[in-house]
Every structure is written in structure tokens, then in C-alpha cells.
């Protein structure tokens, strides 16, 4: 059988998953008889809710007798580890670029990885039905970006398609639009080289992804580099440390549309799944029993942000979660490291773990997943990971692109400059302005919420790790202190009403609080201890109903990301399946002084 292996790469929100949906729907109509739901590839609950792809996944379609394996990748740089390992499985890629936005920071990141591996991209200008679409200009910008990234002449001679992936259309010629993806399929067959395979050589496959099944145990996913393997055959698993384990392939699978198909044998060139290889890690090689030979291990960019995870120790610990001990936490983090390649975990003390990842979003997705599984955990503020380069302490710096309405641009530029940002480019686009900055990663902690309120929700920002630069010095990103509860018990509307001119509350009346819990943000610098558990004293003269019409300002509801962005050095976020609370590390006010 003939194969083509392609990855779909793009900046977040440029339409990768929607394009895969369209490809699946159209080939299924050609006779695979399976219903494809919206964004079918985003199978994880969090992906569906947020509309982003977190995990790279693969599917396959048949077109004119050729099996095309398609890998959908994340656009967020925080999940860059997913992109890096996946590109090793493919021979070509579709680079999706929004017809209005043009190449964005993450386009640069994924494209650089693809060009380094020698892949020849097919450029798909998507969303050409947008009112502000500028397809010709976007193609030129993409060409300039490739040239800047050091593409070869072959790579720069890329074919171009124009698409409206939501409507299932892609075509070569803007003047002559088509109603389906036939041009895209033809282009993949013509421009994406078939994998170079040697069926008769000893079996060899690199593990690029892991899955787990209740019945089959661990399933390893990857592309067969050479040879073939049958059901029940013994193979060698070659570990990163150079040791080998003899193990048996209990069941090989191939992919078609949204299904995994059981087969008796898989061979070189196909992206397959093998059950039975229990202690495999990502980046290891499954090889022939008699003639084992290891493939190069996948390298992934180092983490840039870390947080300290601990079991919950607040007065409410253990009331809401199922897994509350440090042993539970340790086991869960060990399990996560097996599949999440760009995550690192080290034990600082028996009940404290330093978890390092590619960014705040990367770590907050892990926390949200754990919370839904029933874990209780408390975490400290995110910290950047510094390195010493040539004797100078250096910190991670981001390339930030913001797109804002003109009237807000000066305010945003002022705030970013005060956070040690350096403007590198500014270009007006109609009544909006696109500004590019180089800015320390830590300066962006807590900026998104402020940015949205500064631009009245109309600003768009995206950023990408740009390298390590010398430490930029002291940075103050939070101006205000916290309102901290000095009593235990339920909060009362009466006391919140009396205190609401002091700051903004995060809790409603009737919320159970404890001493040292953060109940709001102070309107000034420094923390303030407040008593929200005081109710009105009643006498014969002052009746309970005399002033029932207390109007409380609605509290500010913090999401997990907001909470992680808000907390200071001496504060923690307490995360349970039912609540996200903020607290001081030292609960007792007199000891805190």
C-alpha cells in the first residue's frame, strides 16, 4: 500500500482542527460510513471547552487507494513539546495561515521546527471568506518568514492553496473556486514525498506518543521506520539509558478516520499503535529481537516556568477531594511525566514537588485536569527558570505580538514598557495597530487579565519563547495587596457591605472562610486583615429586616489561570474539585508579621 504522512501546523485558532474535520467528512462520504462530529479531533474534555488543541493526535484517510496519515498539532507554544515530537513522524506538512492575520508568533515556532527537519510545506491560506482577508499579502509575508528562517530554495518553492475549511473548500486558483478538498488531496499526493521504506530490513520504530487502555494497558504510537511486525511477535524495547527489555506485541493497530483497526501485521511507512509494550517511554525505540538498533532520541526544548505543588494543608483540606496525600500527588505527577514530554518533576522535600513546564497555560491545564480527577493540591506562584550563560544570569524572554484598536495602543505600550518590554516593531492595520515586543516571560504573568480590561476585551495577544537574555532586574507586576480574612466561619453580607469600599471581593455572602484565606484585592498597596464574619447585632430597636436591601457589588470570580496570575510570593492557590481558593502561606496574622 502507498502512504503519505503529513502534519497540520499553524498558529492557535487558524483552523487546523476544523480542516481535519473537513478532510474526514469528505473521505467518509466516499464510503467509510462513519459520522464525524464537530472538532472531532479535540477528544479531551478541556479541549472541547476551550476550543484549543492540547494533545497532538493522528487520524488517517483513504484517497484514490493511497492512505494519508494526518497528524493534528497544537498551536499554543506551551504545548510545543507535542509539535516537536510529532514532526519526526511525517514527511510533509500543511502550513495553515489565516488570510487576515497572516503569520503569527506560533506560525514562526512550528514552521522553524518543520524547516529544520527538512519538510517541504504546502501553504494553505485559510478563512479567505473573512471581510478583512488579504490572501496575496499573506502569501508574501509567509515567503518572507520562510526566507528569514533559512529555508532552502526547494522549501521556498511552495505550492499555495486557498481554503474556507469551515465550508470544506480548498482550491489552487482564487478566480476558480471549488466546492471540495480535491485540490488539497491531489496536492498532498503530488508534493508530499512517500516515506522511504525498507520492508525487508529488521523492524524499527520510534515511540512518539503513548496512550492507555483499560483492557490492553499501555499503547505505543509511532511511525514504523523499517521492517514489519506481526501480532504476538517478540521485540526489543531499547531504553534511553542503553538497556533493553524483551517484550511481546500483543496487538498491532492502524488508524482510519476516527477508528483504530486491529490488524495482524504492520509495516514500514505507516503510523501505527502497538499494545503490549508496557514500560515504554516517549523517545525510545521498539526494535527487532535478533538485530536491535536504536533510533536517535527525540529532543524537546527545555521548560521555562516552574511551580511548587504540595498536598492541600488548609483548614478545609480533605473535605472535597478524593486524592489528598503526598503519595497520591507523587504517583499522579510520575504518571503525567510519562506522556507529557516537555514536563519535568523533581521532589524538593517529601511533600513538595517542583513541576516545570513550557508556560503558565501548560501547567494550569495539568492542574485543571487533576482537579477534575478528584485531586486536592496547593501551588505557589509561577517562577521563571533562569540559566547561567557565560557567567551572566539569564532569563527566558518572549516575543509578544499584540493587536489592539488604535485608541488603546499608547496605554498598552506604556504598561508593557514599565514591565521591561522593548518594542521591536509597530505597524498600523486600518483602525487597529499591531505591536511587537521582546519582553521577559515573568513580565507576562498576570498581564492577560489587565490587557483585556485595558482594551475593553478587543485586544488580541500571543507570545512565543524567544530565547534567554540577561536578567532584566526587579519587576513589579502587582500594585495592590490582598484582603485577608482574620476569622473562621461564614461571611455575612453586612460585613462585606461595610468593607466593599476597601477593595474588590472574590467571595459572596455565605461563603465559608478561614483565617489567612484571601477574600479580595485591597484597593491600596499592602495587605489588610478584614473580618467578613461579623453580623449585625440585633436589639429591640434594631430589627433584622430594617435594612435588608444591602446592595453588594458582585464579586470578581477568579478562574484557575486568574488565580495563578494574581498570587504573590507569600501566597498559594488551593485547588480542589469544587473550589479554587487563595490563601497566605502563613495563615496566622501575628506570625505573618
pLDDT in tens, the chain (593 residues): 788 888 888 766 656 567 777 676 766 544 443 443 444 444 445 444 444 443 445 777 777 888 888 876 654 444 455 566 677 778 888 888 888 887 776 777 778 878 888 888 888 888 888 887 888 888 888 888 888 888 888 888 888 888 887 777 777 877 777 777 778 888 888 888 887 777 888 888 888 877 766 677 778 888 888 888 888 888 888 887 778 888 888 888 887 776 677 888 888 878 888 888 877 777 788 888 788 787 777 766 678 889 999 999 999 888 888 888 889 899 989 888 776 767 889 999 888 999 998 777 778 888 888 888 899 999 998 888 888 888 888 998 888 888 888 888 888 888 888 888 888 888 887 788 888 889 888 888 878 777 877 887 778 777 777 788 898 888 777 778 889 999 899 988 888 888 888 888 998 888 899 999 999 998 888 888 999 888 877 766 655 555 556 788 888 888 888 888 888 888 899 999 998 999 999 988 888 87
Q: Which residues contact 45 (CB under 8 A, 6 or more apart)?
A: 372
17 is in an annotated binding site: yes
Distance CA 486, CA 399 (A): 42
Residue 28 · residue 49 · CB < 8 Å: no
Are residues 71 and 168 both part of a single domain?
yes
Are residues 232 and 107 both part of a single domain?
no
Buried-state track 264-280, b at ≥16 Cβ within 10 A, e below 16 = eebbbbbbbbbbbbeeb
Does a structural domain hold residue 199? no
Are residues 14 and 146 both part of a single domain?
yes
Are residues 185 and 106 both part of a single domain?
yes
Are residues 311 and 369 both part of a single domain?
yes
Are residues 548 and 434 both part of a single domain?
no
- Domain with residue 278: its CATH number is 2.40.30.10
Are residues 373 and 394 both part of a single domain?
no
Are residues 61 and 180 both part of a single domain?
yes
Q: Phi, psi at residue 322, to the nearest 5°?
A: -100, -35
Distance CA 224, CA 249 (A): 14
Does a structural domain hold residue 197? no
Distance CA 500, CA 493 (A): 10
Distance CA 293, CA 299 (A): 18
Residue 203 · residue 261 · CB < 8 Å: no
Q: Work out the percent of the chain whose per-residue pLDDT is above 90.
A: 7
Does a structural domain hold residue 300? no
Are residues 40 and 183 both part of a single domain?
yes
127 is in an annotated binding site: yes
Residue 268 · residue 195 · CB < 8 Å: yes
Q: What's the grid cell of residue 234? A: 517478540
33 is in an annotated binding site: no
| The total number of structural domains that make up the chain | 5
Distance CA 441, CA 444 (A): 6
* CA 506 to chain CA centroid, nearest Å: 27
Distance CA 70, CA 93 (A): 9
129 is in an annotated binding site: yes
Q: Which residues contact 329 (CB under 8 A, 6 or more apart)?
A: 309, 310, 311, 323, 351, 353, 375, 377
Q: Which of 435, 470, 505 is the last residue of a domain?
A: 470
Q: Which of 334, 359, 384 is the last residue of a domain?
A: 384
Distance CA 517, CA 520 (A): 9
Nearest to 44 by CA among 305, 277, 378, 368: 368
- Domain with residue 404: its CATH number is 3.30.70.240
pTM: 0.70
584 is in an annotated binding site: no
What pLDDT was estimated at residue 353?
Answer: 92
What pLDDT was estimated at residue 412?
Answer: 87
Q: What is the CA radius of gyration of the chain?
A: 27
The DSSP annotation for 112-158 comes to: HHHHHTT-EEEEEEE-TTSTT--HHHHHHHHHHHHHHTT--HHHHS-
Q: Is the dihedral of CA 103, 340, 381, 317 positive or negative?
A: positive
Q: Phi, psi at residue 75, to the nearest 5°?
A: -100, -25
Does a structural domain hold residue 196? no
Q: What's the grid cell of residue 170? A: 480548498
Does a structural domain hold residue 61? yes
- Domain with residue 17: its CATH number is 3.40.50.300
178 is in an annotated binding site: no
Distance CA 377, CA 329 (A): 8
Buried-state track 15-53, b at ≥16 Cβ within 10 A, e below 16 = bbbbbbbbbbbbbbeeeeeeebeebbbbeeeebeeeebb
Nearest to 472 by CA among 510, 439, 434: 439
Full domain range(s) for residue 226: 204-288
Buried-state track 516-529, b at ≥16 Cβ within 10 A, e below 16 = bbbbbbbeeeebbe
Residue 16 · residue 106 · CB < 8 Å: no
Are residues 447 and 487 both part of a single domain?
no
Largest Cα span, the chain: 97
- Tracing cell 492542574 back to the chain, one arrives at 367
128 is in an annotated binding site: yes
- In this structure, the number of other CB atoms found within 10 A of the CB of residue 406 comes to 12
6 is in an annotated binding site: no
Does a structural domain hold residue 269? yes
- Domain with residue 562: its CATH number is 2.40.50.250
Q: Is the dihedral of CA 562, 563, 565, 568 positive or negative?
A: positive
Does a structural domain hold residue 477? no
What pLDDT was estimated at residue 300?
Answer: 65
pLDDT in tens, 11-41: 666 565 677 776 767 665 444 434 434 444 4
14 is in an annotated binding site: yes
CB hemisphere CA count around 568 (13 angstroms): 17
Are residues 368 and 412 both part of a single domain?
no
126 is in an annotated binding site: yes
Distance CA 580, CA 558 (A): 8
Does a structural domain hold residue 293? no
Are residues 510 and 391 both part of a single domain?
no
Nearest to 402 by CA among 478, 477, 458, 476: 458
Q: Which H/E stretch holds residue 23?
A: helix 16-29
Amino acid at each position: 500500500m502507498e502512504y503519505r504522512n503529513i502534519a497540520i501546523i499553524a498558529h492557535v485558532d487558524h483552523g487546523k482542527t476544523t480542516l481535519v474535520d473537513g478532510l474526514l467528512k469528505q473521505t467518509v462520504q466516499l464510503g467509510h460510513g462513519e459520522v464525524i462530529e464537530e472538532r472531532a479531533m479535540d477528544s479531551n474534555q478541556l479541549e472541547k471547552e476551550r476550543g484549543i488543541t492540547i494533545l497532538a493526535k493522528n487520524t488517517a484517510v483513504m484517497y484514490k487507494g493511497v492512505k494519508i496519515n494526518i497528524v493534528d498539532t497544537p498551536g499554543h507554544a506551551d504545548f510545543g513539546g507535542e509539535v516537536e515530537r510529532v514532526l519526526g513522524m511525517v514527511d510533509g506538512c500543511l502550513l495553515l495561515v489565516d488570510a487576515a492575520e497572516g503569520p503569527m508568533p506560533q506560525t514562526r515556532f512550528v514552521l522553524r521546527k518543520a524547516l529544520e527537519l527538512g519538510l517541504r510545506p504546502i501553504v494553505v491560506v485559510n478563512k479567505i471568506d473573512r471581510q478583512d482577508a488579504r490572501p496575496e499579502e499573506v502569501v508574501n509575508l509567509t515567503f518572507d518568514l520562510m526566507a528569514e528562517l533559512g529555508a532552502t530554495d526547494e522549501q521556498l518553492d511552495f505550492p499555495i492553496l486557498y481554503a474556507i475549511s469551515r465550508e470544506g473548500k480548498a482550491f489552487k486558483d482564487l478566480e476558480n473556486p471549488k466546492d471540495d478538498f480535491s485540490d488539497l488531496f491531489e496536492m498532498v499526493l503530488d508534493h508530499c514525498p512517500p516515506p522511504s521504506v525498507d520492508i525487508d530490513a529488521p523492524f524499527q520504530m520510534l515511540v512518539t506518543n503513548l496512550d492507555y487502555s483499560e483492557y490492553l494497558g499501555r499503547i505505543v504510537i509511532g511511525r514504523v521506520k523499517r521492517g514489519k511486525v506481526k501480532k504476538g511477535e517478540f521485540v526489543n524495547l531499547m531504553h534511553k539509558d542503553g538497556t533493553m527489555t524483551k517484550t511481546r506485541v500483543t496487538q498491532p493497530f492502524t488508524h482510519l478516520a476516527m477508528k483504530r483497526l486491529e490488524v495482524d501485521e504492520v509495516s514500514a511507512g505507516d503510523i501505527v499503535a502497538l499494545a503490549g509494550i508496557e514500560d515504554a517511554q516517549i523517545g525510545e525505540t521498539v526494535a527487532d529481537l535478533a538485530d536491535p538498533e536504536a533510533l536517535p532520541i527525540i529532543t524537546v526544548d527545555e521548560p521555562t516556568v516552574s511551580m511548587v505543588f504540595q498536598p492541600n494543608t488548609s483548614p478545609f483540606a480533605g473535605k472535597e477531594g478524593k486524592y489528598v496525600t503526598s503519595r497520591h500527588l507523587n504517583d499522579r505527577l510520575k504518571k503525567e511525566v510519562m506522556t507529557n514530554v516537555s514536563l519535568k518533576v523533581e521532589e524538593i522535600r517529601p511533600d513538595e514537588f517542583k513541576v516545570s513546564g513550557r508556560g503558565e497555560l501548560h501547567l494550569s491545564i495539568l492542574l485543571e485536569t487533576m482537579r477534575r480527577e478528584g485531586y486536592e493540591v496547593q501551588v505557589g506562584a509561577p517562577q521563571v527558570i533562569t540559566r547561567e550563560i557565560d557567567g551572566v544570569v539569564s532569563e527566558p524572554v518572549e516575543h509578544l505580538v499584540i493587536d489592539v484598536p488604535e485608541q488603546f495602543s499608547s496605554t498598552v505600550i506604556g504598561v508593557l514598557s514599565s514591565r521591561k518590554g522593548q518594542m521591536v516593531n509597530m505597524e498600523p492595520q486600518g483602525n487597529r495597530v499591531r505591536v511587537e515586543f521582546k519582553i521577559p516571560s515573568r513580565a507576562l504573568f498576570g498581564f492577560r487579565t489587565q490587557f483585556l480590561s485595558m482594551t475593553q476585551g478587543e485586544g488580541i495577544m500571543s507570545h512565543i519563547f524567544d530565547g534567554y537574555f540577561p536578567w532584566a532586574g526587579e519587576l513589579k507586576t502587582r500594585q495592590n495587596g490582598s484582603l485577608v480574612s482574620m476569622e473562621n466561619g461564614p461571611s455575612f453580607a453586612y460585613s462585606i457591605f461595610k468593607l466593599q469600599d476597601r477593595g474588590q471581593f472574590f467571595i459572596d455572602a455565605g461563603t465559608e472562610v478561614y483565617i489567612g484565606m484571601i477574600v479580595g484585592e485591597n484597593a491600596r498597596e499592602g495587605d489588610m486583615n478584614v473580618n467578613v464574619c461579623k453580623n449585625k447585632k440585633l436589639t429591640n430597636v434594631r430589627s433584622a429586616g430594617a435594612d435588608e436591601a444591602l446592595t453588594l457589588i458582585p464579586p470578581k470570580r477568579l478562574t484557575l489561570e486568574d488565580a495563578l496570575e494574581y498570587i504573590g510570593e507569600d501566597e498559594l492557590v488551593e485547588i480542589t474539585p469544587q473550589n479554587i481558593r487563595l490563601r497566605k502561606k502563613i495563615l496566622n496574622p501575628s506570625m505573618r508579621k
